[in-house]
Chains A and B, each alone.
Chain A
Amino acid sequence: MGMISKIIGLIITGAGAVLLFWGMNSDPTYSFIWFLIGMIVMSIGFGLISGGKQPETPEPPPPTVTEIICDNLDCDFKELRDFEKGDYILKPIDATCPKCDGSMTIHGIYIIREKEEEIQI
Chain B
Amino acid sequence: MQFGGESSEFSWIINLAFFAFIMLFSLYGQKIQMWQWLKQIESGLLELKRMFLESRQTAIDAFKNFGRPEDEVAGDLDRWLDYFTIMPVDLDPAGVIQRLDHLLDERRDRFEEFVGDLAPEADGKMRQNLENTLEVTQVMNLIFRVVRHYYILGKKYGSQIMIMQIQMQLPELLRIAKAYFQAMGAFSVGKPIGDGIGPLIVSKFARQYGATKEDYIDDLAREVGYYRVEVEGRTLFAVRATGPGGTVGKPGLAIENLVKQNSGDISRIITIDAALKLEGEELGRVSEGTGAAIGDPGPEKYAIEEVARKNGIPLEAIVVKEDEEAAVGIMQKELLNAIPEAIERIKASIVKRTETGNRVILAGIGNTIGIGL
List residues of chain A with CB under 8 Å of any chain B CB: 23-24, 28-33, 35, 61, 64, 83, 85-91, 106, 108-113, 118-119, 121
- Point out the residue from A32, A61, A88, A118 that lies within 8 Å of B14, measured CB to CB: A32
- Residues in chain A near residue B371, CB distance under 8 A: 88-90
- Point out the residue from A31, A61, A83, A90 that lies within 8 Å of B2, measured CB to CB: A31
- Residues in chain A near residue B191, CB distance under 8 A: 64, 83, 109
Q: Is the CB of A23 within 8 A of B1?
A: yes
Most chain A CB inside 10 Å of its own CB: which residue of B13, B207, B333, B373: B333
- Residues in chain A near residue B8, CB distance under 8 A: 28-29
* A111, B14: Cα distance in complex, Å: 62
Does B90 lie at the interface of the complex (its beta carbon under 8 Å from any beta carbon of A)? Answer: no
Q: Is the CB of A111 within 8 A of B1?
A: no
List residues of chain B with CB under 8 Å of any chain A CB: 1-3, 5-6, 8-10, 13-14, 182, 185, 189-192, 200, 203-204, 207, 213, 243-244, 279-280, 329-333, 335-336, 370-373
- Residues in chain A near residue B182, CB distance under 8 A: 61
Known contacts A28-B2, A83-B191, A89-B200; decide if A111 and B331 are in contact (CB<8 Å). Answer: yes
Min distance, Cβ A55 to any Cβ of chain B, angstroms: 12
Count A-B pairs with CB separation below 8 Å.
80
Min distance, Cβ B198 to any Cβ of chain A, angstroms: 13
* A83, B2: Cα distance in complex, Å: 71
Q: Give the residue name and chain of the A residue nearest to B370 (CB).
A: A88
Known contacts A33-B10, A88-B190; decide if A110 and B330 are in contact (CB<8 Å). Answer: yes
* A90, B200: Cα distance in complex, Å: 9
Q: Is the CB of B200 within 8 A of A61?
A: no
- Residues in chain A near residue B332, CB distance under 8 A: 110-111, 113
Q: Give the residue name and chain of the A residue nearest to B326 (CB).
A: A111
Q: Is the CB of A35 within 8 A of B189?
A: no
Q: Is the CB of A89 within 8 A of B189?
A: no
Q: Is the CB of A111 within 8 A of B330?
A: yes
Min distance, Cβ B324 to any Cβ of chain A, angstroms: 15
Q: Give the residue name and chain of the B residue nearest to A85 (CB).
A: B189
* A90, B13: Cα distance in complex, Å: 80
* A61, B372: Cα distance in complex, Å: 24
Interface of B is mostly: loop
Q: Is the CB of A89 within 8 A of B9?
A: no
Top 10 closest pairs, chain A to chain B, by CB: A90-B372, A88-B244, A111-B330, A28-B2, A88-B370, A110-B333, A88-B372, A110-B331, A28-B5, A24-B1
- Residues in chain A near residue B329, CB distance under 8 A: 111
Min distance, Cβ A53 to any Cβ of chain B, angstroms: 14
- Residues in chain B near residue A106, CB distance under 8 A: 372
- Residues in chain B near residue A119, CB distance under 8 A: 279-280
* A113, B335: Cα distance in complex, Å: 13
- Point out the residue from A33, A111, A121 that lies within 8 Å of B280, measured CB to CB: A121
* A35, B203: Cα distance in complex, Å: 74
Show 26 A/B contacts (Cβ-Cβ < 8 Å), sorted by A.
A24-B1, A28-B6, A28-B8, A31-B2, A32-B1, A32-B14, A35-B1, A61-B185, A64-B191, A64-B330, A83-B189, A88-B244, A88-B370, A90-B200, A90-B203, A90-B244, A91-B244, A106-B372, A108-B336, A110-B331, A110-B335, A110-B336, A111-B331, A111-B332, A118-B280, A121-B280
Min distance, Cβ B333 to any Cβ of chain A, angstroms: 5
- Residues in chain A near residue B192, CB distance under 8 A: 88-89, 109
Q: Give the residue name and chain of the A residue nearest to B331 (CB).
A: A110
* A121, B278: Cα distance in complex, Å: 13
Known contacts A85-B189, A89-B192, A109-B370; decide if A32 and B3 are in contact (CB<8 Å). Answer: yes
Min distance, Cβ A33 to any Cβ of chain B, angstroms: 7
